Amino acid sequence: MSSLPDTRWLAWSQRIQAIAQNGLTFARDPYDRERYEALRSIAAEILAAGSMLDPSLVLEVLERETDYATPKVDVRGVVFREDKLLLVRERSDGHWTLPGGWADVGASPAENVEREVHEESGLAVRATKVLAVLDRSKHPHEPPFAFHVYKLFLLCALTGGTPEPGIETDAVDFFGEREIPDLSLTRVTPAQVRRMFDHHRQPDLPTDFDCET
């Protein structure tokens, strides 16, 4: 039996929001648009009830999403120095994470993660392998997120630079497997960090992905 909490409400709201967003993208009949707007409001109500947020604020966030609904992409850099893993501390919550963030349009996953690592840690890296492609909703991230997210973990080789915090980070360090500090769970989980150490010890492991069992 899965140890994850029951977050079916989150999946329901994401699916309803996607249907509403796609409908509003293509619908021309005003009555159809009215129905899709009502669906979007229902998705906002579900999200607000599950997250204890103001429904009007949630609806405002959903209304900013336009065009065909697709998953968002988060990239994370996995950088080892000897047997220690690079982590950065987020100013927003005071906890540690693999450097990374939202992928920007116009850049490849490798370019995105190399930029994120440099901006958040001051270190220059070169992406060499995709270690994992994970569905955020299938892992115990906190808090839940309104949109569907794919998380890409890319192994990166250290090529230069000096450890230095960035605008969004206030500390940079390398940690051994038994030294991992409190993690920013919205960005990375302890199990994901442990799995990165597995990949470090066994470089021939294939790329991880979430599959139905």
pLDDT, tens digit, for every residue of 4-57?
456 788 888 888 888 888 888 888 888 888 888 888 888 888 888 887 778 888
Report the interhelical angle of 8-26 vs 30-51 (nearest 10°).
160
The answer, yes or no, to whether residue 132 has pLDDT greater than 50, is yes
Cα–Cα distance between 4 and 112 in angstroms, integer? 30
Cα–Cα distance between 203 and 197 in angstroms, integer? 10
Superfamily (CATH) of domain 72-209: Nucleoside Triphosphate Pyrophosphohydrolase (3.90.79.10)
155: helix, strand or coil: strand
| pLDDT at res. 7 | 72
The domain segmentation of the chain, as residue ranges, is: 8-63, 72-209
Q: What's the pLDDT tens digit per position in 49-79? A: 887 778 888 888 878 877 777 889 999 999 9
User: From the CB of residue 75, how many other CB atoms can be counted at a distance below 10 Å?
Assistant: 29
- β-strand partners of 160: 124
Whole-number average pLDDT of the chain: 90
